Structure 1
Amino acid sequence: MSDNIINLEEILFEDHHITTDTPGITLYLRNKRRRGVERFGPEKTVVMVHGATYSSGSLYDVRLGGMSYMDFLAARGFDVFAVDVRGYGHSTRPPEMEQDASLSPPVVKTETGVIDLGHAVNFVLQHRQLDRVNIFGMSWGGTVAGAFSADNPEKVVKLALLAPQWLSDKPIPIDMGGELDAYRLVPVLETKARWLSTAPENARDSLVPEGWFETWAEATLAEDPWSAGKSPERLRASNGPIQDIRDYWRQGRAFYDPALIGAPTLLVHGEWDVDVTIDLALSIFQKLTGAPYRRWVEIGEATHLVLMEKNRLQAFEAIASFFSEEYSPE
C-alpha cells in the first residue's frame, strides 16, 4: 500500500489563534482542506485533539513518507481542524509551565482539555457556519473527545477514537511513578527505543520506516522552541493527564460515561498497544451503548503510535471511510 497517493499541491493550510475563557491563553488551531473547496458541510468537517504528551502538529501533521494524517483526510475531501490544548504545541503555556516545574502541582487536567476542545469546536461551528462536526481523538485525546461528545451530543456527527484511555487495574506505562510536578520533560530522541520495545523483537526493525522517526522528532521538538535554549532535545508536557490517571483510571472512577455518547462511534486499536491494552479497549467499546452504531477496527502489527508506523494507512482508511458513510440522525 503506497503512501504516494495524494497531490500535496491540492492541500491548503491555514491556522488560527483562538481565545479561551482564560485571559492570556490562546489556542492554536491548524486547518487543512482541498484548495478551491469552500463548503464542506458537517459530515465532511473533522475536529481533532491530541494525546497527553505530543501536540496535534506532532501526531497528526508531520509529513512522513511525504504525507501526514491531516494531508490524507484533506485529500479525501475533509475540512480538517486540529487543536493544541493549552500547554501543548503552539498554544499558550499556562504560567506554571513557564517556571520551574517543582513550584506547582500538575497542570492541564482532562477537564481543561475538554474545555479547550469545546473552544475549538465552537470556533469551527461559527467559522464554517455549521451546527455539528465529526470528532477524533487518540489516547488522552480519546478521553477528551469522548467526554466532550458525551456532554455535547448536539454538536457531534460522528466520533472516532484511537486507543482511548479507560479504567485499569494494572499500572499504566505513561505514569512512571513518583511525585508529579506541574510538567515533565520528555527526552524526545530517546523515545524510539521505548516505542519499538512494545512490538515483538522480530518486528522492530521494520515497524517505523527509515528516516521517519528522525523527521518526526525534529518536527516535535520544533513545537516547543523553549526546549532548545533551556532543555535541549526535551519537550515540556503537562502532568495533569498523569494526575488524572491516578485520580480516575487507576481508581476505578470513569471520567465520563461512554453510554452518553449519542453519535456513531469508531474505535481503532493497534495489536501491540501496551499503553491501552486490548482488554481496556474492549471494555470501553462495550459501554458505547448509546451510539446508534459502533465499530471496532483492530490494526495488526501496530502499536499505540500506529498513525506514524508502516501500517498507518489502514488506520487512515478506516477513519476516513467511517466518517464518509452516510448517516442521518433521527
Structure 2
Amino acid sequence: MSSTSINNSVIVFSEHRIPSDTPGIDLYVRNKRLNGHEVFTAEKTIVMVHGATFSSGSLYDVPLSGLSFMDYLATAGYDVFAVDVRGYGLSTKPEAMEVEANLNPPLVNTDTGVADFTAAVNFVLKHRGLTKVNIFGMSWGGTVAGAFAARNQDKVVKLALLAPQWLSDKPIPIDGGGHLDSYRLVPVLDSKARWLSTAPEQARDGLVPEGWFEQWAQFSLAEDPWSAERAPNKLRATNGPIQDIRDYWRSGKPYYQPSDITAPTLLVHGEWDIDVTIDLALAYFKELRSAQYRLWVEIGESTHLALMEKNRLLAFKSIRDFYGEEFSPG
C-alpha cells in the first residue's frame, strides 16, 4: 500500500492478486481511494475493465500532468478498482503467450473477459461488504462490462461505457484482417501516428499535450518485461477480442443484448472516434431501452482514447457526475 498527494488530497493506492476461475491464473486489481475513506457504499464504489489492447493501468492510471482517471475519481470520494483481464497488464499470462504466437489459436475471448471481470466484481463485493457496485468499461471492456450488467442486474448500481462495441457492416480498424495468431505484438511507440491520424489534420498537433504520449508509452511497456527482451518497444495483446469481432460484431450477432440492461446507463463517445463511429454508438444507445434511464455525452475534439487527450476532463467529469447524481425519472 502506498499514497500520493494530489491537490492537498492524499490518495491511498493498494494492489490485490485474486484467483480467476482457472488454476494458476491470478488477476491483478488496483485500488485507489482517499485516505480516511473507510465507510464503503455501493454508490461510491466503481469497478473498471480495460479494452482489447492495453491494460487498466495503462488506460486509467497513468498520472498525466500528475493526475490519472482513477486519481480523479478517488479525489471525488470514490473507491475505485480496476482489473486486468488475464494476459493483460500485471495479471497472469496464459502459458500460450510465452511461446510463439503462431502455435495457438486466439487467446482470451470475451467469455474469458466476462469471467475475469466477474471475479473482480465478486472480490470487491466481498472485500467491501457490499451487494452492488458501479461499473465502467471502454471499447472491448464496454462489451465485458455491458454483458456483465445484462446478466447480473442485482449487482450493478450504474453502468458507464466509453465507446462500447456494436454491430457493424463496415471493417473495424482494430482488425487488420488475415489469419489471427494467439496474440499480436503492438508497436507502442509507433501508435501515436495512428492515434493522431484519426483526428482532422489541423487538430492533430494539440490533441495530446506534450510529454503525455511518452509517459503513457513508458508505463505501458514497463508492464511487460518479456517484450523488452524479445520484442523491444512492442506489447503483447491477445487476439481473442479480435476473433470475437469477426464472430459477433461483423457477423450481425450481438454478444449480448443491451436491452437486457436495467441499470441507469451512461454512454460517452468521442467526436473523432473511428473505432466506434457515431452511428454505431447511436445504434447501441437505442438498444438501451430497458435501462432505468440512459444518458449520452458526446466529447468534442476527441478520439477513441478520449481519456488521455486534451479534453479528457470533460469525459472524467461526465462519468463522475453520472455516478454521483440522484435522479428518478418521472
User: Do the two structures share a fold, i.e. TM-score over 0.5?
Assistant: yes
Residue 171 of structure 2 aligns to a residue whose secondary structure is coil
Residue 192 of structure 1 aligns to a residue whose secondary structure is helix
Q: Report the AA paired with residue 18 of structure 2.
A: I
Whole-angstrom CA distance in 2 between matches of 1:327 and 1:12: 30
Whole-angstrom CA distance in 1 between matches of 2:237 and 2:102: 14
1:36-75 matched pairs, under 5 angstroms? 36-75=36-75
Give the aligned length.
325
- Measure how far apart 1:9 and its partner are: 5.2
Aligned counterpart, 2:25: 25
1:108-187 matched pairs, under 5 angstroms? 108-187=108-187
Aligned counterpart, 2:87: 87
Residue 301 of structure 2 aligns to a residue whose secondary structure is coil
Whole-angstrom CA distance in 2 between matches of 1:272 and 1:21: 38
Whole-angstrom CA distance in 1 between matches of 2:150 and 2:130: 19
1:248-289 deviations in Å (ceiling 9; x for gaps): 000000000001001000000000000000000000000001
Whole-angstrom CA distance in 2 between matches of 1:207 and 1:103: 39
Whole-angstrom CA distance in 2 between matches of 1:248 and 1:32: 35
- Do 2:9 and 2:34's aligned partners in 1 also have CA atoms closer than 8 Å? no
- Do 2:161 and 2:268's aligned partners in 1 also have CA atoms closer than 8 Å? yes
- Do 2:174 and 2:275's aligned partners in 1 also have CA atoms closer than 8 Å? yes
Residue 161 of structure 1 aligns to a residue whose secondary structure is strand
The share of aligned pairs that are identical, in percent, is 71
Aligned counterpart, 2:302: 302
Aligned counterpart, 1:191: 191
Q: Report the AA paired with residue 118 of structure 2.
A: G
- Do 1:102 and 1:181's aligned partners in 2 also have CA atoms closer than 8 Å? yes
Residue 46 of structure 1 aligns to a residue whose secondary structure is strand
Structure 1, gaps ≥5 residues long: none
Residue 205 of structure 2 aligns to a residue whose secondary structure is helix
1:274 is the counterpart of 2:274: yes
Q: Which moved more, 1:188-197 or 1:31-40?
A: 31-40
Residue 10 of structure 1 aligns to a residue whose secondary structure is strand
Whole-angstrom CA distance in 1 between matches of 2:277 and 2:224: 30
Q: Report the AA paired with residue 272 of structure 1.
A: W
Whole-angstrom CA distance in 2 between matches of 1:202 and 1:322: 32
Q: Report the AA paired with residue 170 of structure 2.
A: K
- Measure how far apart 1:225 and its partner are: 1.1
Whole-angstrom CA distance in 2 between matches of 1:257 and 1:191: 32
Q: Report the AA paired with residue 100 of structure 2.
A: D
- Do 1:6 and 1:72's aligned partners in 2 also have CA atoms closer than 8 Å? no
Whole-angstrom CA distance in 2 between matches of 1:291 and 1:8: 38
- Do 2:9 and 2:75's aligned partners in 1 also have CA atoms closer than 8 Å? no
1:200 is the counterpart of 2:203: no
Aligned counterpart, 2:264: 264
Structure 2, gaps ≥5 residues long: none
Runs of 4+, deviation exceeding 4 Å: none
Give the TM-score normalised by the residue count of structure 2: 0.97
- Do 1:59 and 1:307's aligned partners in 2 also have CA atoms closer than 8 Å? yes
- Measure how far apart 1:40 and its partner are: 2.7
Residue 80 of structure 1 aligns to a residue whose secondary structure is strand
